[in-house]
């Protein structure tokens, strides 16, 4: 059967709508092409999803749709091309960059407080932040309205995280405690987890929660990693291998693998179930300040004081790519849910948020507006909005109008 002829799974043009008497009933690539001229956006999207079945002819139609007047159609075409070979992807990025229209949509002043960490809930509704004023603030991501303020820490909040269920906020502080909060109310779910390693002298720098919300990993200033059972607040395992403080931490989506980045310039990969050290990754020349894992669990991304971002094969420890562009240390990174896009925030000499295409390493956009270094970045699950905090005492929300 010829590639461009109708096939058994082709849809008759028009769907449930009566076909005009003078219209041809078309399947195959001709039917896809015809439906892409429809005024109905949903029909054009459906036609694109079928176009992938028709080889190069279908790919050409997908490329043409990168310039469609509908943002939904353009985005569908862009996502369909993500699975293509690298040269095809590079061509697509030249013709359509979904982040080129991003600008600052909202700016929230935090008065005299510096926000050190921001997080977005899995449903994209809430923005949670913590900073030097010892408080955790919950805002509506879309309106910026402060919904509630959580008080309880006795020193600045270093890091905040939200459980995958969206019900619980986790925070760690210079007061050496980890606290759990109900996102829907101001009532704490306990007195917090007191970190007492090294006689209480060492602090908790970063935290991460596994996919089922049952285990919390805490990176400590003394180079150890504490694993906590969230339900009973039990510290059931302590991992020791780093020579200096843990500055970043991440867990795979399946909860099996833990990655830790340290001031000793290394990244260590651990088996969560057994605590076994699987790999030590060497390549950065300064502190590893941020880590993130692509949702498929195959690739680890790291950012460091050496101004670079590195991509690693999580199974083998192989260095896959190095992204360069920041003029200062890379303080924070975030990855979109589809694993295609990386956001990074630079230090005081840089002041920029950079957006990258992960598969090709292509820089997509540079967001400027902060007057000081970027302390934290987060991205909505859809990738439609980015949040950044800075030492300029503001939080900014970025997106396309």
Buried-exposed string 44-78: b where 16+ CB fall within 10 A, e elsewhere: bbbbbebbbebeebbbebbbebbebeeeebbbbbb
How high is the pLDDT of residue 307?
Answer: 98
Residue 89: its pLDDT value, please?
84
pLDDT over 70 (residue 4): no
Residues 164 and 211: beta-carbon distance below 8 Å: yes
pLDDT at residue 345 greater than cutoff 90? yes
Residue 223: band (very low, low, confident or very high) from pLDDT cuts 50, 70, 90: very high
Identify the pLDDT of residue 3.
43
Q: Give strand pairing partners of 385.
A: 399
**Helix, strand or coil for residue 61?**
helix
Question: Mean pLDDT for the chain?
Answer: 88
Q: How far apart are CA 98 and CA 72, in angstroms?
A: 11
Report the candidate in 170, 257, 265 with the shortest Cα–Cα distance to residue 208: 170
In angstroms, the CA 65 to CA 78 distance is 9
Separation of alpha carbons 4 and 26, rounded Å: 11
Query: Where does residue 232 rank: exposed (0-12), middle (13-18), buried (19+ CB within 10 A)?
Result: exposed
Length of the chain in terms of residues written: 401
Residue 161 has pLDDT above 50, yes or no: yes
Residue 235, pLDDT above cutoff 90: no
Q: Could you tell me which residue, 119 or 74, shows the higher pLDDT?
A: 119
Contact 46, 16 (CB under 8 A): no
d(CA 172, CA 162): 12
Reported pTM:
0.85
User: Could you read off the pLDDT of 119-138 as tens digits, one per residue?
Assistant: 999 999 999 999 999 999 99
CA distance 335 to 339: 6
Q: How confident is the model at residue 1 (pLDDT cuts 50, 70, 90)?
A: very low
Axis crossing angle, helix 55-64 with helix 28-35, rounded to the nearest 10: 10
The string of pLDDT tens digits covering residues 86-116 is 888 888 888 888 899 899 999 999 988 999 9
SS3 92: helix
φ, ψ of residue 286 in degrees (nearest 5)? -145, -175
- Count of C-beta atoms within a 10 Å radius of residue 272: 19
> What is the structure's pLDDT at 20?
37
Place of tokens 């058994």: 8
Per-residue pLDDT of 280-330, as tens digits, reads 999 999 999 999 999 999 999 999 999 999 999 999 999 999 999 999 999
DSSP H or E stretch at residue 211:
none
User: Residue 330 has which token pair?
Assistant: 């890379």
Whether pLDDT at 200 is above 70: no
358 burial via Cβ count (<10 Å: 0-12, 13-18, 19+)? buried
- Residue 201 confidence (pLDDT): 61
Please tell me the predicted confidence (pLDDT) of residue 84. Answer: 83
């Amino acid at each position: 059967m010829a590639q461009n002829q109708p096939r058994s799974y082709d849809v008759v043009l028009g769907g449930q709508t009566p076909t005009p008497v003078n219209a041809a009933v078309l399947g195959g690539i001709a039917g896809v092409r015809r439906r892409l001229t429809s005024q109905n956006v949903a029909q054009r999207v459906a036609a694109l999803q079928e176009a992938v079945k028709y080889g190069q002819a279908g790919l050409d139609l997908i490329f043409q749709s990168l310039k469609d007047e509908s943002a939904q159609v353009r985005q569908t075409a862009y996502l369909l091309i993500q699975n293509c070979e690298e040269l095809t992807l590079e061509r697509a990025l030249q013709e359509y960059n979904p982040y080129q229209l991003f600008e600052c949509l909202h700016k929230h002043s935090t008065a005299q407080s510096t926000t050190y960490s921001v997080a977005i809930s899995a449903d994209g509704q809430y923005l949670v932040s913590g900073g030097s004023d010892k408080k955790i603030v919950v805002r509506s991501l879309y309106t910026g309205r402060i919904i509630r303020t959580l008080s309880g820490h006795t020193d600045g909040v270093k890091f905040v995280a939200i459980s995958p269920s969206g019900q619980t906020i986790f925070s760690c502080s210079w007061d050496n405690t980890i606290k759990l909060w109900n996102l829907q109310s101001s009532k704490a779910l306990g007195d917090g987890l007191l970190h007492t390693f090294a006689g209480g002298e060492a602090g908790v720098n970063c935290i991460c929660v596994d996919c089922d919300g049952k285990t919390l990993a805490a990176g400590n200033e003394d180079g150890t990693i504490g694993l906590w059972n969230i339900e009973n607040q039990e510290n059931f395992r302590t991992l020791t291998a780093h020579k200096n403080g843990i500055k970043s931490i991440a867990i795979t989506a399946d909860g099996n693998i833990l990655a830790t980045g340290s001031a000793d310039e290394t990244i260590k990969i651990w088996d969560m179930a057994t605590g076994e050290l699987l790999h030590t990754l060497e390549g950065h020349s300064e502190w590893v300040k941020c880590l993130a894992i692509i949702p498929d669990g195959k690739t680890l991304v790291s950012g460091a004081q050496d101004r670079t971002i590195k991509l690693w094969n999580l199974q083998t420890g192989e260095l896959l790519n190095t992204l360069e562009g920041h003029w200062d240390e890379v303080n924070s990174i975030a990855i979109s849910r589809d694993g295609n896009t990386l956001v990074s925030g630079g230090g005081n000499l840089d002041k920029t948020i950079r957006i990258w295409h992960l598969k090709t390493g292509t820089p997509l956009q540079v967001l400027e507006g902060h007057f000081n270094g970027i302390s934290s970045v987060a991205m909505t699950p859809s990738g439609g909005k980015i949040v950044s905090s800075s030492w300029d005492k503001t939080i900014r929300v970025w997106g396309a109008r």
